[in-house]
């Protein structure tokens, strides 16, 4: 079992940057695929980015492509979400999630077994 703690959220102006961190307990975090999801008020939670456990390949949603990047620091048991050129529509609670399972669909919330508590990101116009 792994526990996840997100940090790095906050208030930023449009065009600014933030880096979210997802810190995990347990030294086997490198064996987990990790995803970032977000949920805006009144909307469903949606996929943002994922990094898989096999070859550390990564993918991001079309809505953030070219602006967001996901990366992993295995030595620190941490996965990052670098968010640049932020827009007001990026405002949401951001959650990281993890699973040891191998899947063909890391874009789905149901793929993940462990979730963090979320961190608020607010982008002002």
Alpha-carbon separation of residue 8 from 80, 110, 112 (angstroms): 10, 25, 22
pLDDT at 26: 76
How high does pLDDT run on average in the chain?
94
- Work out the end-to-end distance of the chain between its first and last CA atoms, rounded to an integer number of angstroms: 40
Q: How far apart are CA 49 and CA 63, in angstroms?
A: 10
| β 119-124/10-13 pair status | parallel
Lowest mean pLDDT among 20-24, 62-66, 67-71, 98-102: 98-102
pLDDT for residue 84: 98
Residue 48's nearest CA partner among 58, 99, 115, 57 is 58
List, for residues 37-54, the tens digit of each pLDDT value: 999 999 999 999 999 986
The answer on pLDDT for 74 being more than 90 is no
């Amino acid at each position: 079992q792994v526990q996840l703690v997100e940090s790095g959220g906050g208030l930023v102006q449009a065009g600014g940057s933030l880096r979210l961190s997802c810190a995990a307990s347990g030294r086997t975090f490198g064996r987990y695929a990790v995803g970032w999801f977000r949920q805006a008020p009144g909307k469903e939670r949606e996929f943002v980015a994922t990094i898989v456990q096999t070859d550390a390949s990564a993918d991001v949603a079309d809505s953030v492509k070219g602006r967001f990047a996901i990366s992993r620091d295995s030595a620190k048991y941490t996965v990052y979400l670098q968010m640049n050129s932020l827009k007001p529509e990026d405002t949401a609670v951001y959650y990281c999630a993890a699973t040891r399972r191998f899947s063909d669909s890391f874009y789905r919330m149901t793929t993940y077994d462990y979730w963090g508590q979320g961190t608020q990101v607010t982008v002002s116009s």
